[in-house]
Structure formats: C-alpha cells, structure tokens
Structure 1
C-alpha cells in the first residue's frame, strides 16, 4: 500500500477509476454535464486524455469499474424531453469504447448497478415517476422491474443496497437492506407503511442467486425472491456491511437489547461464520467507526493530550499513538481525518518508516491498495 497525493487534480472520489504503480486514471468534468477520461503519470506529471470524443451525462453520473473497463452513460436530449442514451463500455487503458445499447426515454436515466458484466440495472425518472428496468447486454433483452423496493419505495424490506459475490461457483446478489430515516418518515406520511410495521426497526441481509433474480424480472414478477441471511427485529438493531476480505463479504449485526455486536463472514449461500462478538458494555467508547476497507470496528477508548488509544474490536488489538486516528490500514498506516479549520485535512502516520505526513484541505479514499489524497475543494 502507498500514498498518492492527487489534490492538484480537479476530481472527487467519485471520479477515480483506477490507480496503478505509475498512473492514476480518472474522469474530469467540464461544466455540469460534459466529461472526459484522463491518465496522470506520476513520473513526469504528464496528463493524457484517453477518450476520442467528449461524453455527456445530464443526471446522476455514476461510474462502474470492472477490470480494465468502465461503464457509464452518454446522453443526448432533444427539445421534447426525449433523451437518446448510449450505454458505454470504455477501456480506460487503450481508449477503445463500445456502445452496448442505445435507448430513448423521456426523462433522465441513471446506471444504477452492473451485475456480472452482463446485466445493467437502470433507473429512469420523469416528472414525479421513477421506473427501474433491466438490460441484458448478451441478448439485448430489456424489461421493467416491478419490485418497487429497487427504486427506494418502502415495502416489506427496507431500501436495498446491492453487492455481488460468487459462492461455490454461483453468482449471487447480496443486499444490505435498510431504510433511511427520512425515507421512513416520508413513508409514514404517505401511508405506505404504518407505525406498527416492523420496517421501522428491522434490518436484514438478503441474498438471491443472480439467475433467479434475472428470471424474476423476465417473468414480470412483483418481487425478486430474496432470502434472509440475517433479519433483526428489535428496535435500534442494525446491520452494517464491513466490506470484503479474501473474497468473502463481512457484516456486523448490532443487537440493541444485548448491547452486543457480532461480526459475520459469508462463507456459503446459507452459512454465516461468526468471527467476533463485541460486548459494548465492556467499553466506554469516545468514538468508533466501521472500517469497510479492512473489515474491522475501531473503538477509541482513551484520549489525552499525550496519546490516543484505539482498539480493533474484531481482533482485540490495541493501538497507541500521540495523535487521534480512526483507521489502521495494512497494519501500518494510522489515519486521522479532521474537520478542524476551514476545509479539514488528513494526517497519516507510517509505522514502518516512523514518519507522519499531514495534508491540508484534504480528504482521502482507498482504491487499488492505494491511499489517494483528494482536495476538499472538489466536494
């Protein structure tokens, strides 16, 4: 793992595509809608534009990266509100682009998810209506998704946040299902749910084979057949996605009544291995954070002018440093992100080198085993 200072680039974390040993690939926007793909070479500071034409996206512009490809939309609206939209598969190393499909719809479309480099889930918004639909790049088949949970409506499950994984050679969709607090109150006011509905205090981890989910869409089913991996029923109970380690997904389930948190690893489609149990009653934490990079829970238990003590709750490891920090990456980089001052900053202590680096007006993200420092001015 290494550190790359990218504050000079006019990009945010949403624009990063890839980091190699010598280069950073990224999207740079021009105005509100136009963007291009660039490569920055660290050795000599050279910036090279990769794309041969400028792209336009008039909505929520999301990038999906898979191996050397990045997927995004290129939109051309007309005066009647109809938007001609290209789904682009772009090789960011060579600059080659492939138009996987072109469609015309009223309103704005967002590429919401990419599954197995084949299935593309879109959300299209026009005036007060939202529509979710699926496109198969191999067969060019498309179909509206009737499961309203995928467009953020309240239902039997909370709003779905999707992840994909392969278990025993089979592709699965895994969801951290929850409802944003404001979405919940909106759902109450609209009458879609009642105060007695368990949706207001239940969390779940859901799973479904990818093929079954796709078949449910093709057959025009009202709901995608998710099964429960974890379902919590107590008020205040929560499930947190902790990221992936060794190609296995990790989750933390907090039970409010027991004041206890259990860390699970998804080992098989119906098997969760218990990795650690955190008894929050044993701590009087000053602060804590879930680390979705190294799949741990960090608890700050003591802080003074001389030192800060942090515990990795999943392993029991204790860390001491002279300055506050919230994360330990690669067992070497102690990171503190501060909101002090006008724009905040990032402090990183390198344990091996016994060196501390401070970056002003900055925040950080982690990509391709690299700590990338970005400017807060782009947020």
Structure 2
C-alpha cells in the first residue's frame, strides 16, 4: 500500500514538480540562446551593464576640477618609475603604491601625458578589463560545469559581487579589478609565457595578488589532474611551475628596487597596515559585513566545497586551499578596506564551483546558481575606502531621488 498523502505533502510535491519544470524550461531557453551568434559578447555586455547600474560609479570624479592626490602619484610613477615618490605620509594610501608599477607603466601608453589624461586612459583600460572579466568567468565556469546555461547564470551572478563591480566602480585608482582579471587570464590560458606575464601584471598592481597566487597554482593542479595527494599538490610540474617562478621574480625585483633605488613599503601600526587593525573597536562593528560583502552568499559555495573535501578525506587539497583562503582573509583584516582586499580571493569561488560540480552534479549547481544570483541581486555590496559606504544600486537611487529633491 502506498502511504496516504496529506494536503501538505501533496502541495510540497506539486511545488517541487513545478520548480523542476521551471528549471528545465529555463535551462533549455538559456542553452538555445547560447547557441546564437556573439552570445558570449552579449552576455558580457549585459553583465557589464548590470554591474554598472548596481555599482553606481561616481563618474563626476572624472570631470572634477580637483585632481585626487593618488592620480598625481600614478603620474609621477609613470614619468619616473624607478624613483620613489617623496613626501608621502606613511598612513596614506599613496605611500603603499611604491611597488605597484603595472598601471603606471601602462599609463606611459596614454596619448595624453597629464595626470588626468593618463588616469582616464587607465580607467578606459579597466572598463575594458571589466567586460573581459565576465567573458573569462563564463569560460572558466563552462569548463567546470560543462553546461553553458549553468555557466551563464553563474557569470551573471558575479555582476552583483564586488569582484565583478570593481572595474566599473573604482574611479579612485586602486585597480583591484584589473588585477583580478590578470589572475583570471592566468587561470584560463594554457600558454606558460602568457600565464607568467599575467601573474606579474597582477603582482605589480597590488601585493595582495601575490598572497592570492596559490589559487592559480591550485587551479592548474586541478586542471592537470594532479591534486590527489600532498606530493602532487606541493611539487610544481611543467604547467604550474610558472606560478612560483613569477612569485620568486617579483620578490627578487622588489629586493633589488629596495637595495638599489631606495623603495620602501611602510608597514606597522604607524602606517595603518598592521594586525592590530583587527582589534580596533571602531572597526570591529563593520568587520562582519566587510567579510561577507565581497562574495555574499557565494561564501556558501566555498563552505560546501570544503565540506565535500572533508567528507571525501581529500586532506591535501582541503588544507592547502583552506590555507590560501585564510591567508587572503588575514591580509584583508590587516587593513581598512576589507571588502576590496578579499576580492583577490575570488578564484576560490570559481575553484569551489568546480569541486561542487564533481560532488553534486550539474543540476544541483544550476539550481544553486539561481539561488546565488537572487541573493547577490538582493544583498547590496559594501565598500570601504575613506570611511564606509553602501554601494546603493542606481535603480534604488532613481526611486528615492524625487524624495530628496523636495
């Protein structure tokens, strides 16, 4: 005899069937759309538009008569890249840029040699990098889940995360978004020379990219099928050797610049970069939102992947991957801007999606991608530069602006 169904269980079964049909129809529609022409560029353009509307960049900065101090520092670095900029306060953000030479060197390509002209050129490059961010996310997700519909939903979800907004939101000049794109290119490309160059590009935009170098290394190991034990993971192979080489070259060049050209990175409590930042009471109140904001509910993907590694006793990958996440988190806690610092750990989300696809299957990941997209759309991002600020979506600003005009 079949068990008698209660009205509640019958309603739950009907709802489950309806959701299953809805997901099947949505997946089929997205798969058909992905078969069209130029659909990758269409997806990237749509994601970029969503990101811009959500991140609400302060475009008035570009036309302001006052040039931010950081722009002058980047201009001086571009003019004399081997000469440290003098007279910078140790607590200033500008003083931390002493080794961040990728963007100043690119600024030399600007057709206009003024501080504003060079920064506008760099922001144009960063906006192009923002579009490329979504193309790379899709390609990496598709490689992992082997389904264009799931990859498209996952990619759209990143448009509402800080890593997907950084290239469009940042008109200050920190260029975290460009650094993350360099890391993603290093993960996507299989040409060692290009991987090496992109890693160097990221490392010389911000030191936090060096801390995040473990993620491209682990990605290459997973892609090559060399992640089943401590020996396979720890020993560089022909494909992954470029990562430690890029790190070693970066450290060697930094030492040379310090010894020969007098470069110095201010650290410690007097420079506003210190482990004691964690214990400052004025900062503890925004610590939880600062940790949550970069990836929002996408942290769940990282947690589920870690749980699967624990359940399957893949200790080497669990320990090394966890250590990489902890290192990036610790670096973020040592500074004021937690959200943008943790953006460099975004490759951990991509790697975790691949692990979940192995563990639970493509259909589970598709449903999870929809949940992640909805949560990322609802929960606003949180940015910390000079103080703390919510990145309120443009649609919300347009809705409340008539109230402010009265």
TM range (shorter): under 0.3
Higher relative contact order (CA 8 A, sep 6+): 2
Greater strand share, structure number:
1
Calculate the TM-score normalised by the size of structure 2. 0.23
Calculate the TM-score normalised by the size of structure 1. 0.24
